[in-house]
Structure 1
Amino acid sequence: MGVCCSQPARSGSYDFKSNYAAPIVENVLFFPDGKMPCRSIMGGNNVVCKRDVCVFTITCNEIADEISAAHKRGVRVRIITDDAQRAAQGSDVDRLKAEGIAVRDDGVISGYMHHKFAILDKTILLNGSFNWTRHAVLGNYENIVVSNSTMLCSTFQGQFEELWLKFDKALSSNLQYV
């Protein structure tokens, strides 16, 4: 996997559940890392209930395929993304939406939806500079902090819920954003 501060480098999917049994664990993954497939950052089959993803873009097909597979297994998946990036060439977001995954974007709101975080089963937070692109894994200097801190997970989950409501087009269609 990526270069970690507490785990040796290895390739393959990472078993988040068994590696994060301690009360508070924080780990850092550094990129580029040609040994780490894109899909292994999302917890593989270890995520059983819910994935909330809030990212600027998703263009790494392996990450998108892993998200799709989780959805097909019955994992509840919600994605918030930037409206311009959603429609950009190479984006996997509309494909995921077509497969039935709930997707919202920032629409007419000025500025970018530039977050890069995911909450897995409400208990694991992935957050950092990591763009969800193939180039982020293989070319860019990026990082992901992985934590099971209840406080961090709860705080990021709150931010996700706030944005999920804010970007609901049915609720916000009559609002003006500056």
Structure 2
Amino acid sequence: MFRQVSFKELMKMFGVGAVALVLGVEWLDWLTRRLGFRRDSRLKEVLFFPSPQTCVEHLFTPDRSFPCACPLPHGTETSFSRLLGHLLSACVSLDLCLFSFSHVELSRVVLHLHNRGVTVRVVTDRDYMAIIGSQIGTLRRAGICVRHEMSTAVHMHHKFALVDGRKLITGSLNWTLTAVQSNKENVMVTEEPELVRPYQKEFQKLWEANDPANHKPQTKKQAAK
């Protein structure tokens, strides 16, 4: 025969169980930190440049049935290949806010995503979009929507990308060949929401502020003042 448990005894048992659960969770947290395991699995990565030149064809066609014939080293992961991989992970959207964009391989990534159906938006600098070698014209001709800083008094000097609205790529790196292969640069990649959200707001603010529909062209009289 089972003895009937009183309400007081039941509450006491519940209290002991709750304490044991809390202690167990705290012990597990201590153990995972002690052993070096991370409870937070969100992406946090830092890339440093310059990056050595390697073949990146496998990132565009991973199911290649024949070896690439280019003379660059193959099968080596670099900061640049990691950057390309993060960009190519976009499934829905890619928002770019870039001061200078002349790197052909990075342009190829953006065009590849656009052709794959990913929605691409670009905000760039008014002056640097027109320099020799800029890839902005190439993106526009492909049908990608690009807006530039309307003000002539300031430069749009940001360098960041948002992948699917959840992954942030930012740092000192301009999207140029010199920056990738010659300069000391840094790039941070994160999915930490507290860091991603402010960049989402900044991009949207710039996107709306530089909408050509909101800026009437100056008359000759206005330009002369």
- The TM-score range, normalised by the shorter chain, is 0.7 to 0.9
- Structure 2 residue aligned with 1:167, among 210, 222, 225? 210
Contact 1:38–1:134, Cα closer than 8 Å, also in 2:
no
Q: Greater relative contact order (Cα 8 A, min sep 6): structure 1 or 2?
A: 1
Question: CA separation in 2, counterparts of 1:122 and 1:87?
Answer: 28
Q: Could you say what secondary structure the match of 1:66 adopts?
A: helix
**Contact kept in structure 1, 2:48 and 2:79, CA below 8 Å:** no
Q: Kindly state the Cα deviation for residue 140 of structure 1 after the two structures are TM-superposed.
A: 0.4
Indicate the residue corresponding to 1:73 in structure 2: 116
Residues 135-159 of structure 1: CA distance to partner in whole angstroms, max 9, x if unpaired?
A: 1111000000111011211110110
User: 1:136 pairs with 172, 179, 182, which one?
Assistant: 179
Deviation of the 1:173 alpha carbon: 2.6
Maintained 8 Å contact 1:38/1:62: no
TM-score, normalised by the number of residues in structure 1: 0.80
Structure with the largest fraction of helix: 2
- Deviation (angstroms), 1:44: 4.7
- Residue segments in structure 1 that go unaligned for 5+ positions in a row: 1-21
* Distance of aligned partners of 1:39 and 1:93 in 2 relative to their CA distance in 1, 3 Å threshold: farther
Alignment match of 1:47 (pick from 90, 95, 102): 90
Q: Percent identity?
A: 34
Distance in 1 between the 2:198 and 2:127 partners?
26
Report the aligned-residue RMSD: 2.0
- Distance, in Å, in 1 between the alignment partners of 2:162 and 2:175 is 14
Please name the residue that 1:34 is paired with. 52
Q: Which runs of 4+ in 1 moved over 2 A?
A: 22-25, 35-40, 42-45, 172-176
Please report the TM-score for the alignment, with normalisation by the length of structure 2: 0.64
1:174 positional shift = 7.0
How far apart, CA to CA, are the structure 2 residues paired with 1:169 and 1:142? 33
Give 1:37 deviation, angstroms.
7.7
- For residues 194 and 143 of structure 2, the distance between their equivalents in structure 1, rounded to whole angstroms, comes to 31
Residues 5-51 of structure 1: CA deviation (Å, up to 9, x unaligned)? xxxxxxxxxxxxxxxxx543321100001144856524254211000
Corresponding position of 1:7: none
Q: CA deviation at 1:75?
A: 0.2
Q: Which has the larger radius of gyration?
A: 2
SS where residue 112 of structure 1 aligns? coil
Identify the structure with the greater strand proportion: 1
Secondary structure class of the residue paired with 1:144:
strand
Which consecutive unaligned segments of at least 5 residues does structure 2 have? Answer: 1-39, 54-77
- Determine helix, strand or coil for the equivalent of 2:139: helix
